[in-house]
Structure 1
Amino acid sequence: MIIRCIIRDFCINMSKYIIALACLSITIASCKKRNENPAKSAGNNILSFTINNSQVGEAVLNADSATIRIFVKQGTDLTTIKPEIRVADKASISPASGQQVNLLPDSVITYTVTAESGATQKWQVQVKIYPKPNLASYKPDVKPDSVFQGYFTRYNGWNSGDGAQSILLPDGRTVWMFGDSFVGEVNPDRTRVNNKTWFINNVMMIQQGSEFTTHHGGTSDKPTALFVPDNPKRFYWARHGFVDGNELYLTLMELEKVKVNGRDELAHHADKMAVLSLPDMRYIKMLDIPYRNGISYGDRCFSDGNYNYMFGQKGNGWNNYLYIARAAAGKAKDTWEFFAGDKGWVKDMSSATTIKMATHISSAPTLINRNGRYYMIIHRNFFSNDILMFRADKPEGPYTDEVKLYTTTDADNSYLAIGHPQFMEGNRLLIGYSVAGDIFKSYKNVDICVPKFIRVTLPE
């Protein structure tokens, strides 16, 4: 059509022919220019580039320049990396996705993507080690969280107690576990309804969105603890837990009230794990957690997709030594490994050594994996009002760079600062902490024993 138009124009007017020819030359030149940069064609694009277990944040892909920049954790062995790569539909890539490559820090490796049409594009991939944030300039910003404080201002079911440890379920629900708790009805003026108030040692709440349901043993007219030992003289304090496959594992401490030199004390007999099926929360069985040499595992748990970890503690509650154990994902019922310092991870519990920290601290540390760093949130010691943060490159530490996040001011004594990373808002972490209120006075004011919630900014 274009040629016929040109010939016709030539016969009519030579000047129009020259103009048309010039326009045609420009069109051809612009086509050649586009073919020289096929990266802008969706047919040979890289859509995602992932280094499993080592990557920090998302890879930065630039289709215009055909470049990818990706950050990895410090200490990553880049000589044996097997990147997972997704390309455009019906395109191929070389080296292939999953093929081992040598990605030395700051070096560039070339991947070639071939579209279905045969057009190729070379992509330049650069890997960088993620730098440590400068905590010297980090100033935590702390604000009360009115939303969760409102959630926990309750008038029936669980209404006050300590612990408030949360576990995110695969379907998006959150399980909340509590130790000593009040269950029952609360008057509008926040006093307890005397004949409808019960004190029990472990309770569960399940959160779905803004709705909470209380789960306990016994009946609604006479609630009992959700988990009860076979020995009627003993009871369980609820701790934390983790999800492994289609099962929920909840850690418990088995205790008994005893007299020692005329004083009431608690004897610690055993540590347990209750196994529940998901998503129906049906009880399956109770497992033993090794409790030897005074080391109690199960205070807090952490999962990274490859392993489930349990923190242990040994001490008097005021000044504790921390330990850590782990089991491979899908192997929670099998033999656990224990961190043994220079020996690494061993199956012999007697070889377990303490996590290296600059100071003694309380129990129940929360571990947050953020941009390839592990941040531990924990109280300075039991009934201290200081909530601290430490940093490490691995779950087993060593933990350094102590930062005081917050000093509680709304109670004489606070304890068990717990982070809830599933409720992160940007870089603001939700933290709840228990308060040591007078349980007898709480009959006149329920809020004396209700956990408090704050949000704290974390380092980028």
Structure 2
Amino acid sequence: MAAGALVTAVAWSDDSGDEVGRFAPEQLTAMFQEYGDTSGTWLGADRTASVPLSGDRTLWLFSDTFLGSPGEDGSRPRASGLISNSAIVQENGRLGRLHYGGIASDPAALVPSPAAGEFTWIGDGAAFGGRVQVLANSYRRSGAGPLDHKLTGTVLADFTESSLTPGPVRKLPLGDRISWGSEILSEGGRYYIYGTEGSGAMKFAHVARTSTPDLAGAWEFWTGGGWSATEADSARLLSGVGTNYGVRRVGDQYVLVTHENNLIFSADFVAYTADSPTGPFQGPHYLFRAPEVAQGNIVYDADLHLELSRKGRLLVSYNVNNLDEAVTYADASIYRPRFAEVTWPPAGTGRGPAAPQGLTAAVGGAGTASLAWQPVAGQGVSYEVYRRDVTAGQTHFVRLPDGPGAATTFRSEFLTDGHDYEFAVSAVSLRGESALSTAAAMRATVPPPDAPGVVEVRALPDGRVTVHWGQIPFVQLVKVFHRDVTGGQEKPAEAGAFPGVSATIGPLTHGHEYEITVVAVGGGGDSPPSRGVRVTPRVTPPPAPAMPTAEARPDGSVHLTWPAVAPDLTYQVFTREVGVADWGLPGPTGRTSFDTVPLRHGREYELAVAAVNSGGAGEKSLPIRIRAVVAAPAAAPERLRAEAELGSVELTWKPTGAEWYKISRRDLTAGETELAEDEIAVKGGSAVVHHLADGHEYEFAVAAVNDGGSGPRSATVRVRLPSAVPSKVSARSDRAGEVTVVWTEIRRGLTYRVQLRDTTAGEQWRTDPFPVTGARYQTALLTAGHRYEFRLQLPDGTLSATAATTVR
């Protein structure tokens, strides 16, 4: 997968639509199925919000997104990457490239999480003035189950419309009660932002608004009778909405389309209507039933795509998943959006039969409600039963699935103990559906369910465990618990709540024995746990990664990348010099890339990668060979300065970032014409050069150096050393035939040779054969009355000033 690269585009003709840019639902469903099979990037996702862009383009926003390609058998590979949100732009009926964060070798969410340990799911977006603003909700995992997560807040991401280049992402000053961004409705030069509040098993709609088409501006919240700047004043609009739903103005009405959430795991999608964005909403109008529920899947998150809908119809998308991940991994096509279409406004059904009379509701056995009513006259009459959970705050009646048909009695199951319920019944014939009957009320008395019976477990090779249990009457969910016996765990930990009769949990710790129990969840509370079943998960070490790719870096290190073997793995990177048998200690990493330490310049190395899970390290990949290359430093040191002392110069410079430097010099006084580089490098940004000739002028330069060689030299600096020639040389004759010469030493410890001559006799300079130290010299046996001259010669041949005296 390449960031920014175009993937295989999936195109569809608009010919079957009523007009250009409008789509039949089967077209869009098939388009995303083919895109998931062929794009190589987007394997499937949920949420499916659409944002109209300029140029007849559509931005599709997704939450959890699986990456990669399906297996040959249509399964989702376990190695598929997962990011928490992404986007695709559709143009001219084509789905273009996948937009995401990070880089191709390490993709990340398009809208990043605001804090470590959190993730973001997309809400909705709006385009205005060349920018796209997207609301996303941040969550933190609250348990091991697929539905265990907790809202932590709402963030706003800002993008350029032309390229979807991310701009700033900031957390909005909102709380964690309402997930805002379920829908964004543009109306009257402002935005209405809908949100969802989760309260127990019920979800409620809320609405806020801005004063301008800018989500970054101040928000006001609908209180039920007006607007408030305080989010805590936000009032519930209606119950039974999904986390995401659609709201659009259609004609002179506002239409809210949602998955029916007044019932758990419902297959129904419904609409509510209102005369204003704030309601009150009337309904529900039943739109369609998702066929995927009959196949054991769950459906959720409706959205309304009015801009893509054909005339006289509403185009609705929804998402499909399965709470047993083994099912969704076995079939990659499950986790992709579906589209449905309904006629709107609904066609009139004529005059239906009379509403049923005499409805009664009584507490039934096993925590049910027993309903009965009088039959309605007419041919072919059947009945529908509606229920409202008053205690849970349910605002509208919900139609119960699998109604009584032509019978005039019905048993309502899955009630909650102590809740007050209202029931109503309608009659249905060929002429249509009647109004609802007068409601009948009752308070449910529901005992806890019995403990589940036989529980079977099977260890999978990836450390997960599949748990099976029998069907439990009047129970829609069961909780699965695990206890680490080997680890000494005393209290079982919940692995999640699941519908149906099976679940896959884990991965659990390799080689540990676990006790698995199941608890049935009913309206009367939780059942006692089932009898524990023990299992020891085994994790097969992961397969070897594909051969990595390697890039030699200028500092001598090697940058290594490789494809992910599976999610949530760590890796070990092995390095050895070619010809060496042992690999040595590996370098660990949690990513699919690794930078080695700087290696030796010019040496050839082998590098290999092994994936690691709780079962241990797998086989190494095929090794890749590469020669380490250290580039010579590119920058020259700056600000070279020189301070001279007798016999030495202290050099200082601004380091380039390199560790080592070499000094070059030449003795100008001695007539040297070329700078000569010292053999020994120095460390840091300063050095003292010793053993220089006093009084000589020198030129210096400095260059950074590494294993790849020396970099460019700095600008040169010149400095003259002070002379060590003694000063104040004087001579005197205190006795007959003797002379004493004294001087002031500039550098202590030097050895001098004294030169002298008899100028009266015209003598040439001669050197006393005995060297002297200190600051005094005395000689004898000189000719009285003659004038003598004296001078000192230094070890480097330098001569002092001359002193003269007449011998007594």
- Does residue 374 (structure 1) correspond to residue 254 (structure 2)? The answer is yes
Q: Does 1:449 align with 2:335?
A: yes
Q: CA deviation at 1:144?
A: 7.9
Q: Which residue of 1 aligns with 2:789?
A: none
Please list, as runs of the form range in 1=range in 2, the aligned pairs for 1:32-431 lying within 5 A after superposition.
Answer: 145-153=25-33, 154-155=36-37, 156-187=40-71, 189-192=73-76, 195=79, 197-212=80-95, 213-259=97-143, 265-292=148-175, 294-316=177-199, 318-342=201-225, 344-355=226-237, 357=238, 359-381=239-261, 383-411=265-293, 412-431=297-316
TM-score by length of 1: 0.63
Q: Which runs of 5+ in 2 are unaligned?
A: 1-22, 347-808
TM-superposed deviation, 1:399: 0.2
**Alpha-carbon displacement from aligned partner over 1:378-405 (angstroms, at most 9, x marks no partner):** 1111632110111101011110032111
Once the two structures are TM-superposed, the CA of residue 406 in structure 1 deviates from its matched residue by 0.9
Superposed displacement of residue 188, structure 1: 5.4
Q: Helix, strand or coil for the counterpart of 2:292?
A: coil
Structure with the higher helix share, 1 or 2: 1
| CA distance 1:285–1:191, shift in 2 (3 Å) | same
Shift in alpha-carbon separation, 1:210–1:348, aligned structure 2, 3 A: same
State the SS of the aligned residue for 2:119.
strand
Residue deviations 1:310-347 (CA, integer Å, cap 9, x gap): 112212474112110111334432211111222x2222
CA apart distance, 1:351: 2.2
SS in 2 for 1:185: coil
**Residues 135-156 of structure 1, C-alpha deviation per residue, up to 9 Å, x if partnerless?**
xxxxxxxx98221111111222
> CA separation in 1, counterparts of 2:194 and 2:300?
17
| Structure 1 residue aligned with 2:711 | none
Distance 1:429 1:161, change over 3 A: same
Q: Which residue of 2 aligns with 1:90?
A: none
**How far off its partner does 1:305 sit?**
4.5
Note the alpha carbon deviations across 1:212-235, whole angstroms, 9 max, x for none.
121112333332222222533111
* CA shift in 2, pair 1:371/1:265, >3 Å: closer
Task: Return the offset for 1:282.
Answer: 2.0
- Structure 1 residues 315 and 230: alpha-carbon distance in aligned structure 2, compared to 1, 3 A threshold: closer
Alpha-carbon shift at residue 185 of structure 1 (Å) = 1.5
SS at match of 1:164: strand
RMSD, matched Cα: 2.5
Q: Secondary structure at the match of 2:279?
A: coil
Q: CA deviation at 1:349?
A: 2.2
Deviation (angstroms), 1:194: 5.4
Q: Which residue identity does 2:83 align to in structure 1?
A: I
String of CA shifts for 1:172-228, please: whole Å, max 9, x gaps. Answer: 211111111211122454234555x21221111111122212111233333222222
Query: How far apart, CA to CA, are the structure 2 residues paired with 1:185 and 1:240?
Result: 27
Equivalent in the alignment of 2:550: none
Tell me the amino acid that sits aligned with residue 425 of structure 1. R
Q: Relative contact order, CA 8 A, sep 6+: which one is greater?
A: 1
Structure-2 separation of matches of 1:442 and 1:353: 37
| Structure 1: 5+ residue stretches without partners | 1-142
**2: CA distance, partners of 1:423 / 1:162:** 19
Shift in Å, 1:423: 0.7
Q: Is residue 151–residue 210 contact of structure 1 (8 Å, CA) maintained in 2?
A: no
Aligned counterparts of 1:424 and 1:203: Cα–Cα separation in 2: 23
CA, structure 1 residues 389+259, in 2 after alignment: closer, same or farther (shift >3 Å)?
closer
CA contact (8 A) 1:174 1:206 kept: yes
Q: Which residue identity does 1:227 align to in structure 2?
A: V
Between the aligned partners of 2:201 and 2:142, the Cα distance in structure 1 is 21
Shift of 1:420: 0.8
Q: Distance in 2 between matches of 1:242 and 1:433?
A: 20
Is the 8 Å Cα contact of residues 421 and 429 (structure 1) preserved in structure 2?
A: yes
Contact 2:247 2:255 in 1 (8 A): yes
Alignment check: 8 A CA contact 1:361 1:378 kept: yes
CA deviation digits over 1:8-49, x for unaligned, max 9? xxxxxxxxxxxxxxxxxxxxxxxxxxxxxxxxxxxxxxxxxx
% same residue: 24
Q: TM-score, normalised by structure 2?
A: 0.37
In the alignment, the residues of structure 1 paired with residue 325 and residue 203 of structure 2 have an alpha-carbon distance, to the nearest angstrom, of 26
Is the CA contact 1:159–1:183 (under 8 Å) kept in the aligned structure 2?
yes
The separation in 2 between residues aligned to 1:264 and 1:163, in whole angstroms, is 15
Distance 2:146 2:135 in 1: 28
Whole-Å Cα distance in 1 between the matches of residues 45 and 160 of structure 2? 26
Secondary structure at the aligned position of 1:395 is classed as coil
Relative distance call for 1:281 and 1:391 in structure 2 (3 A) is same
1:434 maps to amino acid: N
Deviation of 1:289 (Å) = 2.9
Query: Structure 2 counterpart of 1:413, which letter?
Result: I
Alignment coverage as a number of residue pairs: 313
C-alpha change, 1:401 and 1:263, in structure 2 (3 Å) is: closer
SS at match of 2:207: strand
Aligned residue type for 2:228:
V
Deviation at 1:169, TM superposition (A): 1.1
Q: How far apart, CA to CA, are the structure 1 residues paired with 2:72 and 2:188?
A: 44
CA contact (8 A) 2:137 2:180 kept: no
Question: How far off its partner does 1:287 sit?
Answer: 2.9
Query: In the TM superposition, what is the alpha-carbon distance from 1:419 to its structure 2 partner?
Result: 1.3
Find the aligned partners of 1:182 and 1:293 in 2 and give their Cα distance: 27
The alpha carbon displacement at 1:279 in A equals 2.3
